[in-house]
């Protein structure tokens, strides 16, 4: 038995926008398995899309895959025959385990030697982003670990754009009694997060120490709004969405709370931080990771009669009807 692999170049934006179960592939039976990856580290224009087929793809199949990555319109596709039983392993051989702070991230094929005392997470490179191999995810893990080392307390956290769920899992390990929420605009990412939660012993639910999940664009979901305010918000997406979400993310962050932002280049850091300064946040720290810094911001505390809060999962606030977000 053999399988076939079709490879096309793409950009990071295209890779992150791919609907792995979208209409473009509905006419192909069985549907191909899609994987995306960097070809040049830290270059958002140098990614690739790999589509795995049970039979050699024809013109219609090639056209359907091409439709997912418009930047490859003039690129010549690469089609190769591979052993059927080996393609998943082959696709993950180039992924090395990641050791960031107290966390050690690996796939099922590259566990390697776990550092003493490390908290391990098994995250496969599959249908969603956030395996820990990119600087943005590793930077968030180090930032979270440093917060815990400083003794910071977190009672209610949310991971927006969760991808694989990794950052939510890590935060829950650091603050095991916190209420935790994870969301993503892509329902497939929410499914992947639920699968990874089972693999890594994370309990799903809405109580303390459990992870609540929602598929939502930004914070447009009753669950996400109803569980605010959050004293820790993690958002590892891209600079454009981070700027666009600044008003709503700032609104659901509790006064004195911490916001961790990633997915932005060093050249975009000031513009992203500036969007949040306009909503009462200040830059409290930066974790450099090559060209991909992780920003840590704090929301200023207001005092006086006009202070307004919103209910969290542990009780009522001063003005439970405030805001629409």
Q: Which residues fall in the annotated binding site for S-adenosyl-L-methionine?
A: 137, 161, 184, 236
Rounded Cα gap, residues 155 and 85, in angstroms: 45
Q: Is 138 helix (H, G, I), strand (E, B) or coil?
A: helix
283 with 297: CB under 8 angstroms?
yes
Question: Which strand ranges, in their side-by-side order, compose the sheet holding 47-53?
Answer: 33-38, 47-53, 2-10, 78-83
- 232, 231, 227, 230: which is closest to 206 by C-alpha? 227
- 138, 154, 119, 161: which is closest to 249 by C-alpha? 161
- Radius of gyration, CA atoms only, the chain: 21
Rounded Cα gap, residues 302 and 110, in angstroms: 48
Rounded Cα gap, residues 291 and 50, in angstroms: 26
Which segments are annotated as binding site? Answer: 137, 161, 184, 236
Rounded Cα gap, residues 100 and 77, in angstroms: 36
| SS3 annotation, 43-64 | CCCCEEEEEEECCCCCHHHHHH
284 with 297: CB under 8 angstroms?
yes
The token duo for 251 is 């609104």
144 with 167: CB under 8 angstroms?
yes
Strand pairing of 281-287 and 156-160? Answer: unpaired
Please, what is the angle between helix 166-174 and helix 135-149, to 10°?
Answer: 10
Cα angle value 116/289/284 (rounded, 5°): 100
Residue whose tokens read 């053999």: 2
Strand pairing of 33-38 and 98-100? Answer: unpaired
């Amino acid at each position: 038995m053999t399988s076939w692999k079709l490879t096309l170049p793409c950009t990071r934006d295209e890779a992150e926008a791919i609907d792995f179960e979208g209409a473009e592939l509905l006419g192909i039976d069985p549907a191909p398995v899609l994987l995306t990856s960097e070809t040049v580290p830290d270059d958002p224009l140098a990614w690739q899309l790999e589509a795995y087929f049970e039979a050699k793809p024809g013109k219609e199949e090639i056209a359907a895959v091409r439709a997912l990555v418009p930047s490859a319109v003039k690129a010549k596709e690469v089609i190769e025959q591979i052993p059927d039983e080996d393609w998943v392993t082959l696709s993950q051989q180039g992924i090395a385990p990641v050791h960031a702070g107290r966390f050690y991230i690996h796939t099922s094929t590259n566990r390697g030697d776990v550092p003493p005392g490390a908290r391990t997470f098994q995250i496969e490179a599959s249908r969603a982003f956030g395996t820990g191999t990119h600087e943005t995810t590793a930077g968030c893990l180090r930032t979270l670990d440093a917060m815990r080392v400083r003794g910071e307390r977190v009672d209610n956290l949310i991971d927006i754009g969760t991808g694989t769920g990794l950052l939510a899992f890590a935060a829950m390990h650091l603050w095991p009694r916190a209420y935790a929420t994870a969301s993503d605009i892509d329902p497939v990412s929410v499914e992947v997060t639920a699968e990874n939660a089972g693999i890594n012993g994370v309990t799903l639910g809405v109580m303390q120490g459990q992870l609540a999940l929602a598929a939502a664009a930004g914070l447009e979901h009753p669950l996400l709004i109803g569980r605010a305010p959050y004293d820790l918000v993690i958002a590892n997406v891209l600079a454009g969405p981070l700027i666009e979400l600044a008003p709503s993310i700032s609104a659901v962050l509790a006064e004195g709370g911490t916001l961790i932002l990633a997915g932005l280049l060093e050249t975009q850091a000031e513009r992203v931080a500036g969007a949040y300064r306009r909503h009462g946040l200040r830059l409290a720290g930066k974790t450099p990771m090559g060209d991909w810094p992780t920003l840590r911001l704090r929301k200023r505390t207001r005092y006086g009669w006009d202070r307004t809060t919103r209910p969290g999962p542990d009780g009522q606030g001063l003005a439970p009807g405030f805001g629409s977000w």
